[in-house]
Chains A and B, each alone.
Chain A
Amino acid sequence: MSEKIMIIDDEKIVGDMARISLEEDGYEVETFLTAAPALERLKEAPFDVVVTDLKMKGIDGLEVLRAVREMSPKTKVIMITAFANLDVAIEAIKGDVFDFFPKPVRIKELKESIRKALAQNGGQNGEQPGK
C-alpha cells in the first residue's frame, strides 16, 4: 500500500501538477480546492502527509494544521504560501508544521520534503516510495 498524500490548494494547477508528479513516484494523491471537504475526508481515511496552501477562503492553512494535529497527530503537514510573513511562519512552527514553502514551489524540493516526512513517520503506511 502506497503512502497517501493530500493536497489542499484553491489554485487547481497546484494540485494537478503536484499530483501528476507524485503519482509518477508511486504515491496515492488526493486533491482539494477548499479545506472543509478535505478535513471531512481526513476523518474517513488516514493520510501520511497533508500539503496545504495557507491562504484560502473559509478555513485557512493554519486551521487545517490545527485540525490535522488534533485528528491525526502522526500526519505531517507541509504548508505552501503565496506570501511569507513572519507572524504566520511563527504560528505555523508553533503548530508543529513539518515544512514551509513559499510560492513559486520547486516540485523537487516539495517531493524531497515529503520523503523526509514519510521517513520520520517510519514508513507507517508501507515501504519507502520508489519507482
Chain B
Amino acid sequence: MRIERKIVFSNLINLVLIVAIGSFAISYLNSISEQATFLSIADSLNASFLEMRLSEKNYFLFNDNTALKSIQDRISQTQDQMNSVRDDIVRVIGQDGYNELQNRLNSYSAAVSQAGATDARDPQTEETIREAGRQLKDSSDAITGQERQHIEHNITRSKELLLLAIGAVFVSALVVSRSISGKIIGPIRQIERLAKSISAGNFKKIEAPIPRDEFGPVIEAINSMSEELEEREEEIIQSKKLASMGVLVAGVAHELNNPVNNISMVAQAYDELYDKLTPQQRREFMQKVDRETGRIKKIVDNLLDYGKPKEPNPREVGINSVIGKSMQLVQNTLNISKIETTLDLAEGLPELFVDDNQIQQVLINLILNAAQAMEEGGRLTVKSSLDRERGMVDITVADTGKGIPAEYLPYIFDPFFSVKEEGGTGLGLSVSFGIIKSHGGNIRVDSKAGIGTTFTVELPVPEEKGTT
C-alpha cells in the first residue's frame, strides 16, 4: 500500500476510535447525570420519610394527635412525589421494588390512620406504626444506597473506559507511526548508504525487494543511476587512460630509441667486421640483437596492455612489482624532465588483492602529475610501507614541485577540477580516487606551495593475510 494511503487510513482509524470513545463517555456521563437527578429525588423522598418518623416519635413521646395529622400530610405529599417520578423509580428499583415501596407506604398510612381513629394508646398499633415506618425508611435508604452505588460504578467504568481509550489511541498511534516511519526511514537509510557508497566510487545497487510505495520509483531511479554511473565510470577510466597514454607514448618513443640504436649498431659492426669476427662473436652479436628486440617487445607490450580497456579484475599481486612496472613506463618521461627518482620500497609486504592494471593507472597518473609539477626538474620519491595497525599498505608519491595552493586542496579529487594551466582534463585524480575507493582504500594529499606535494594511496591488506 502507498504510504500516503496508509497515513490517511490510520488517521481514519484513530478518528473512529476517538469518536467511539467520546460517544461512550458522553453516554456514561448522561447516565451519571440522570442518576444524580434521581438521587436528589430519592434524597428528598428519604427526607420526607425521615420527617414522618420524627413526627411519629413526637406522637409517641407527647401523644400528640397533630403529629399524626402531619404524618398523614407528609404521606400524601410523598405519594404525589412518588407518582410524579414513578418512571424514574421503576427504572432504578424495578416495578416489584416500586410496588413494595408503595405497599409499605400504604401499610404505614393505614397504621397511622388506625392510630388516629382512636385516642386510646394501643401498644399493638404503635408497634405496627413503628414497624411500617422502619420498613419504609429501610426501603428508601436501600434505594438511595443502590443509586449511589450505581453512580460510583458508572464513574469507575467511565474512568476505566477513558484510561482504556487513552491507552488504545496511544498504542494505535505508536503502531501506526512505527510502521509508517519504518516504511520511510528504512528506505531513506538504504538510499543514504547507497549514496555514500556511490560517492566513494563503489557502484552498488539496493538489493532489497523494491517496495510498492512511494519509495519504489525512487529506489528504482537510484539503482538505474548507479548502473549508469558504473558504465560511465568505465568509459571515463578508459578515456583518461588513453589521454595519459599520449604523454606516455612521447616518453616511451624515446625509450624505444635505445634498443633500436643498439640493434642498429650491432648490425653495422657485424657488417663492417664480418670477416674478422669469429663464429663465436657472430653468434654473440646475433644474441645481442635478439635480446634487444626482446626489450622492444616488452616496452610495446606494456603500452598495449596499458591501453586496453579492462574489466576490473582483482588478483593477488605484490604492490612493489606494480610500482616497478609503472616506473618502467614513466622512466623516460621523468628523464626528459630532469627528474631524479628515489624508490624506497619496503621488503616483505603482504600481497594485496587488487586490480594491478587499475592501480598502475593510478600510480602513473600520480607520477605524471608530479612530473608536470616539476617543470624545472626535481626529485620524485615513491615509497611503499606497511601500516600494521591499520592493516594498510601505504604508497606515497612525493614531488618537490611547485605545490598545490591550499585553497584548491579540497577540490582536487572532484571531477573536472584541474590546477594545471593547460591540458588538464580534471579527471585524472577523480578517476584515481574512484579506483582506490572501489578497492576499499583511500587517497590523501598533502601539499605546501613551493615545497612539493605528497599523495598517499592506502590499500587494505586482505584479512587472511593479517599483518604478521
Residue pair A55, B335 in contact (C-beta under 8 Å): yes
Q: Mark A1-35, 1 if CB is under 8 A from B, else 0.
A: 00000000001011001101100100000000000
Q: Are B258 and A107 in contact (CB under 8 A)?
A: no
Decide: B265 and A18 in contact? CB cutoff 8 A. Answer: yes
Q: Are B257 and A103 within 8 A (Cβ)?
A: yes
B262 to chain A, nearest CB (A): 4
Which residues of chain A from 15 to 70 have any CB-CB distance to chain B below 8 Å in the complex?
A: 17-18, 20-21, 24, 55
In the assembled complex, A93 has its CB within 8 A of some CB on chain B: no
Total A-B Cβ pairs within 8 A? 57
| Bound-complex Cα distance A97 to B435 (A) | 48
User: Does any Cβ of A come within 8 Å of B272's Cβ?
Assistant: yes
Measured between alpha carbons, how far is A13 from B258 in the docked complex, in Å?
A: 10
Contact A107 B276 (CB under 8 A): no
- B273 and A13: CB pair below 8 A? no
Q: Is B261 located at the chain interface by the 8 A CB criterion?
A: yes
Query: Hey, which chain B residues are within 8 Å of A18, CB to CB?
Result: 265
Determine if B335 and A107 form an interchain contact, defined as CB atoms under 8 angstroms apart. no
Given known A-B contacts A20-B273, A83-B254, A83-B336, A103 and B268 have beta carbons under 8 A apart: no
Q: Which residues of chain A are near B255, meaning CB under 8 Å? A: 82
Among residues of B, the one whose C-beta sits closest to the C-beta of A20 is B269
Question: Are A11 and B268 closer than 8 Å at their CB atoms?
Answer: no
Residue A106 CB within 8 A of the other chain: yes
B contact patch SS: helix
Nearest-Cβ distance from residue B377 to partner chain A, whole angstroms: 11
Q: Would B273 and A21 count as touching, CB distance under 8 A? A: yes
Which A residues are CB-close (under 8 A) to B263? 104
Q: How far is the CA of A83 from the CA of B263 in the complex (A)?
A: 17
From residue A36, how far is it (CB to closest CB) to chain B in Å? 15
Q: Is the CB of B265 within 8 A of A105?
A: yes
Bound Cα distance A13, B266 (Å) = 8
Counting CB contacts under 8 A, is B345 at the interface? no
Within 8 A of B (CB), among A53-102: 55, 82-83, 85
10 tightest A-B CB contacts, nearest first: A103-B261, A104-B264, A82-B257, A104-B261, A17-B265, A13-B262, A83-B254, A17-B269, A107-B268, A103-B257
CB of B333, distance to nearest CB on chain A (Å): 11
> Is B257 a contact partner of A83 (Cβ separation < 8 A)?
yes
Could you say which residues of chain A place their CB within 8 Å of the CB of B260?
Answer: 103-104
User: CB of B351 within 8 A of chain A?
Assistant: no
User: For the complex, is A116 an interface residue (Cβ under 8 Å from B)?
Assistant: no
Interface size on A, residues (CB 8 A): 18
Pick 8 A–B contacts, CB within 8 A, sort by A.
A13-B262, A13-B288, A13-B292, A14-B261, A21-B268, A55-B336, A104-B264, A106-B268
**Which A residues are CB-close (under 8 A) to B265?**
13-14, 17-18, 104-105, 107
For B264, the chain A residues whose CB sits under 8 A away are 104-105
Q: With A13-B292, A55-B335 in contact, do A107 and B269 touch (Cβ < 8 Å)?
A: yes
Q: Which B residue's beta carbon lies closest to that of A60?
A: B338
Is the beta-carbon distance between B257 and A21 smaller than 8 angstroms? no
Q: Which residues of B contact A106 (CB under 8 A)?
A: 268
Nearest B residue to A58, CB-CB: B340
- Give Cα A14 to B265, complex, Å: 7
**B276: A residues at CB distance < 8 A:** 24
What separation, in Å, do the CA atoms of A21 and B264 have in the docked complex?
13
Query: Given the complex of chains A and B, what is the CA–CA distance between A51 and B276 in angstroms?
Result: 25
Interface positions, chain B 266-301, Cβ under 8 Å from A, are 266, 268-269, 272-273, 276, 288, 292
A107–B276 Cα distance when bound, in Å, is 17
Are the CB atoms of B258 and A103 closer together than 8 Å? Answer: yes
CA distance A18 to B262 in the complex (A): 11
Q: How far is the CA of A11 from the CA of B257 in the complex (A)?
A: 11
Contact A82 B273 (CB under 8 A): no
Complex CA gap A108/B267 in Å reads 12
Q: Is A11 within 8 A of B254, CB to CB? A: no
Q: What residues of chain A lie closer than 8 Å to B268, measured between beta carbons? A: 17, 21, 106-108
Residues of B within 8 Å of A103, CB to CB, are 257-258, 260-261
Produce 1/0 per residue, B164-182, CB < 8 A to A.
Answer: 0000000000000000000
Complex alpha-carbon distance, A13 and B257, angstroms:
13
Q: Are the CB atoms of B262 and A11 closer together than 8 Å?
A: yes
| Bound Cα distance from A130 to B66, whole angstroms | 181
Q: For residue B376, give the distance in angstroms from its CB to the closest CB of chain A.
A: 12
Minimum C-beta distance from B162 to chain A (A): 94
B272 to chain A, nearest CB (A): 6
Are B272's CB and A82's CB within 8 A?
no
Could you give, for residues 235-275 of chain B, a 1 whenever the CB lies within 8 Å of some chain A CB and a 0 otherwise?
Answer: 00000000000000000001101101111111011001100
Beyond A14-B262, A14-B265, A17-B268, 8 additional contacts (C-beta under 8 Å) are A11-B262, A13-B266, A13-B288, A14-B261, A18-B265, A55-B336, A103-B257, A107-B268
Q: Known interface pairs A17-B265, A108-B268. Does A24 touch B254 (Cβ–Cβ under 8 Å)?
A: no
